Amino acid sequence: MTETTVRALGATAGPSRIVLGVCGGIAAYKSAILARLLISAGHDVRIVPTDSALQMVGRTTFSALSSHPVHTSVFDDPEGVEHVRIGDEADLLIVAPATANTVAKLAHGIADNLLTATALVATCPILVVPAMHTQMWLNPATQANVQTLRDRGVFVLDPAEGRLTGSDSGIGRLPEPEQIAQTALGMLCEQDLAGTRFVISAGGTREPIDPVRFLGNRSTGRFGIALALNAAQRGARVDLVACNIDRALLPNHPRIAVHPVGSAEQLQEAMNSCASGASVLIMTAAVADFRPAHSGESKFKKDGSGAAPDITLVENPDILKGLASDRSHGALVVGFAAETGDEHGSVLDYGKKKAKVKGADLLIVNRVGETVGFGDVDTAITILDRDGNVLGEGEGTKSQMAGTVLDAISLSLGSLD
């Protein structure tokens, strides 16, 4: 995510007062970038480090970045009763990086510095982003403290995997500032999807030919991921059924559960098992229409004669059609139509035909090809109802279009009430 995307997200949320708590981990330097992103998004950011954090990053850096004085103790400004004022006024409290020590203090209501005292006063949403050594993160004491915070409604982002202090690497790394900013700003969004559960498929299926080869497609899963993130930020719980998505692209959001699958049959099984009780089922996945009838248990070999192997294909189930025809789940069903158009019809002509064939409540049509539709590029969409009537259209980044699709879904959910 770029700084521009963060700014766009912040702009929709309006200016807010954000308190950014910083603890004394090696990742404290990243909090300066995080503060920058939040300020660029138009928010007023007050930085409250611990004394240990100031061992890592200087007070001057934090005060110059935030244009606010930087204190660590409730005794730094006793007449201002700072912890009460800052905690009371905050629209969002972020603690990033949060050390194991501060996570423990937050879980147990210990208030022995300005940050932890402010956290006890704050009634706003709280985002805690732990970063620590792998053993400290996996220690049952830390895990229990994190669970206590989550049970209390605090958002705790899972740490990332990668390089830690010194030569060590593993789970415990602070997620990138852009990701933290995106989650944080999402928490300031209107929660119009609170109380709903979305099941979203994303990515492209792989149909095995043998243990090392498959029939696949070029889908990266970016649109489905954008939908999942936007829906979670607007308050929905999301089951993301991820078909062969690059791990680096998968979202890290406390309201998103990721279910990795490979083939179309595995995808169908996962969608069906998540469907019951869901509010919305969305099929963005690019599903292979056919799969090899038999996949070899060992690798196919050339026999030297120049003859190519015969691979017989059989049709895969149409998962969207199945979800749209068996309504026992009671959810709104949304499909996607990836179209190129040809000499027999335009992208929209094919989209309208597909809307009628699939029977989904909404069908989102987008143009795909060698250079459009797949990957990190802008996209143009048209939203159709099940009869092929145009309900809306838009053009922009995948994140912006995800917002447009969710607006249409939110309207449809409202009309079902």
Query: Active-site residues: which are they?
Result: 217
Please identify, among the stretches 14-22, 160-168, 332-340, 341-349, the one whose residues bind ligand CTP according to the rule CB under 6 A. Answer: 332-340
Q: Name which of 231 and 285 has its Cβ closer to ligand CTP.
A: 285
Q: Which of 21, 205, 238 is nearest to 131 (CA)?
A: 21
Minimum distance from CB of 276 to ligand CTP (Å)? 18
Q: Read out DSSP for 326-386?
A: -GGG--EEEEEEEE--BTTB-HHHHHHHHHHHH--SEEEEEE-SSSSSSSSS-EEEEEEET
Minimum distance from CB of 147 to ligand CTP (Å)? 36
Minimum distance from CB of 219 to ligand CTP (Å)? 9
Q: Name which of 301 and 344 has its Cβ closer to ligand CTP.
A: 344
| Cα 44 to Cα 265: distance, rounded to the nearest angstrom | 49
Q: Which of 314, 303, 358 is nearest to 336 (CA)?
A: 358
89 CB-near residues (< 8 Å, 6+ apart):
17
Q: Name which of 51 and 326 has its Cβ closer to ligand CTP.
A: 326
283 binds ligand CTP (CB under 6 A): yes
Q: Could you say which of 318, 331, 403, 408 contacts ligand CTP (CB under 6 A)?
A: 318
Minimum distance from CB of 297 to ligand CTP (Å)? 25
Residue 221: helix, strand or coil by DSSP?
A: coil
Q: Could you say which of 287, 348, 355, 383 contacts ligand CTP (CB under 6 A)?
A: 287
Please identify which residue in the block is written with the tokens 């402010």: 118
* CB 370, CB 376: distance < 8 Å: no
31 binds ligand CTP (CB under 6 A): no
* CB 169, CB 192: distance < 8 Å: no
The tokens describing 414, both together, are: 């409202």
Interaction with ligand CTP in 223-282: which residues (CB under 6 A)?
264
Q: Name which of 92 and 270 has its Cβ closer to ligand CTP.
A: 270
Q: Could you say which of 13, 319, 332, 405 contacts ligand CTP (CB under 6 A)?
A: 319
328: left (phi over 0), alpha (psi -120 to 50) or beta: alpha
Minimum distance from CB of 245 to ligand CTP (Å)? 14
The tokens describing 15, both together, are: 């200016």
Q: Could you say which of 65, 285, 332, 401 contacts ligand CTP (CB under 6 A)?
A: 285
35 binds ligand CTP (CB under 6 A): no
Minimum distance from CB of 58 to ligand CTP (Å)? 52
373 binds ligand CTP (CB under 6 A): no
Q: Name which of 82 and 318 has its Cβ closer to ligand CTP.
A: 318
Q: Name which of 62 and 336 has its Cβ closer to ligand CTP.
A: 336
Q: Name which of 126 and 320 has its Cβ closer to ligand CTP.
A: 320
Please identify, among the stretches 3-11, 67-75, 151-159, 314-322, the one whose residues bind ligand CTP according to the rule CB under 6 A. Answer: 314-322
| Cα 146 to Cα 122: distance, rounded to the nearest angstrom | 18
| Cα 137 to Cα 135: distance, rounded to the nearest angstrom | 5
Q: Could you say which of 31, 183, 316, 404 contacts ligand CTP (CB under 6 A)?
A: 316
- My answer on whether omega of the bond before 97 falls inside 30° of 0, hence cis, is yes
| Cα 272 to Cα 92: distance, rounded to the nearest angstrom | 37
Contact residues toward ligand CTP (CB under 6 A) are 264, 283, 285, 287, 289, 316, 318-320, 335-338
